[in-house]
Amino acid sequence: MSIDGKVYLVVEMTDLNFKTFGGIYIMKFGKTLVLTALLTAGAAFGLGTNDAHAAENYIVKSGDTLSKISIKFAGDNSLVNSIAKDNSISNVNMIFEGENLTINTDAKGNTTVTPVQTTQATTQQTAPVATTSTATTQETTPTEQATATSTAATTSTATTTAATTSTSTNAAKEWIAQKESSGSYTATNGQYIGRYQLSASYLNGDYSEANQERVADQYVTSRYGSWEGAQAFWQANGWY
């Protein structure tokens, strides 16, 4: 306690022979003596609590990284940057087996960003891209399936139409053959010859069944467009 510029040691006492100050008994000492005692105690306290760490040497082993070495000495990655700086390492991701490193554990806590952790974070962020690509591929599949289904349906429709047309054409052709010659390839009526009663000039002397079929198809296609057209004409006029 300081009173009037002098230092006092405060002690609770019951002896009335001591000087009182504010209800507390005070023992007066010389300023120099008390100050010296306080300085001595402070120095002892400082020496007892100051735990300095000297720099240590470490030989790099196979499989070591700065992150692993930092964890060995500090329990975390806080020494990575200080190790790189103290040993003039330009690339924190590249050290060599047998290299002698100086490790200053006093630098713990000064590092806030660790490049190794940044690299791991970047790798993790890449994963969604691959997932997106997979999703795109999966979304494409239904479109391809729909296209294939549509193509198959179109082909089926075309096949059905062709079959229907062929059946209709054959029916019309047979109908005319029955009307003209009762279906006989050898029937004759003056200049008209065969199953479809074609003019002898059309057949050019060849009265075979194959030639009658070929010439009949050519005649009907060129004049009526189809056997159905020829049948419709015959039904309207009694001939074709």
Q: What is the pLDDT along the chain (240 residues), one digit of tens a residue?
A: 545 555 444 444 444 444 444 444 444 444 333 333 333 334 333 444 444 456 899 999 999 999 999 999 999 999 999 999 999 999 988 899 999 999 998 766 544 444 444 344 334 444 444 444 444 444 445 556 666 666 666 666 666 666 777 899 999 999 999 999 999 999 999 999 999 999 999 999 999 999 999 999 999 999 999 999 999 999 999 999
Answer yes or no: do 240 and 174 share one domain. yes
In-domain check, residue 138:
no
Report the distance separating Cα 80 and Cα 73, nearest Å: 11
Q: Please count the other Cβ atoms lying within 10 Å of the Cβ belonging to residue 71.
A: 15
The pLDDT, as a whole number, for residue 163 is 73
Answer yes or no: do 240 and 168 share one domain. yes
Answer yes or no: do 209 and 189 share one domain. yes
Answer yes or no: do 8 and 32 share one domain. yes
In-domain check, residue 38:
yes
Task: Tell me which residue range forms the domain holding 235.
Answer: 164-240
The pLDDT, as a whole number, for residue 40 is 38
Answer yes or no: do 22 and 69 share one domain. no
The pLDDT, as a whole number, for residue 142 is 56
In-domain check, residue 155:
no
**Cβ neighbours of residue 15 closer than 8 Å, sequence gap 6 or more:** 25
The pLDDT, as a whole number, for residue 159 is 65
* Count of structural domains, the chain: 3
The pLDDT, as a whole number, for residue 205 is 93
Instruction: Write the CATH number for 75.
Output: 3.10.350.10
The pLDDT, as a whole number, for residue 151 is 67
Read off the amino acid at residue 5: G
**Cβ neighbours of residue 56 closer than 8 Å, sequence gap 6 or more:** 73, 102, 103, 105
Q: Please answer whether residues 201 and 194 qualify as being in contact, where contact means their C-beta atoms are separated by less than 8 angstroms.
A: no
Q: Has this prediction a pTM greater than 0.75? A: no
The pLDDT, as a whole number, for residue 48 is 40
In-domain check, residue 159:
no
The pLDDT, as a whole number, for residue 84 is 92
The pLDDT, as a whole number, for residue 53 is 54
Query: In which region does residue 238 sit, left (phi positive, over 0), alpha (psi from -120 to 50) or beta (all else)?
Result: left
Report the distance separating Cα 213 and Cα 94, nearest Å: 89
In-domain check, residue 6:
yes
Instruction: Measure the CA angle with vertex 111, ends 110 and 113; round to 5°.
Output: 155
Answer yes or no: do 205 and 238 share one domain. yes
Answer yes or no: do 173 and 220 share one domain. yes
Answer yes or no: do 171 and 214 share one domain. yes
**Cβ neighbours of residue 6 closer than 8 Å, sequence gap 6 or more:** 28, 31
Q: Name the CA radius of gyration of the chain, rounded.
A: 57
- Dihedral of CA atoms 112, 118, 124, 128 in degrees, nearest 10, equals 110
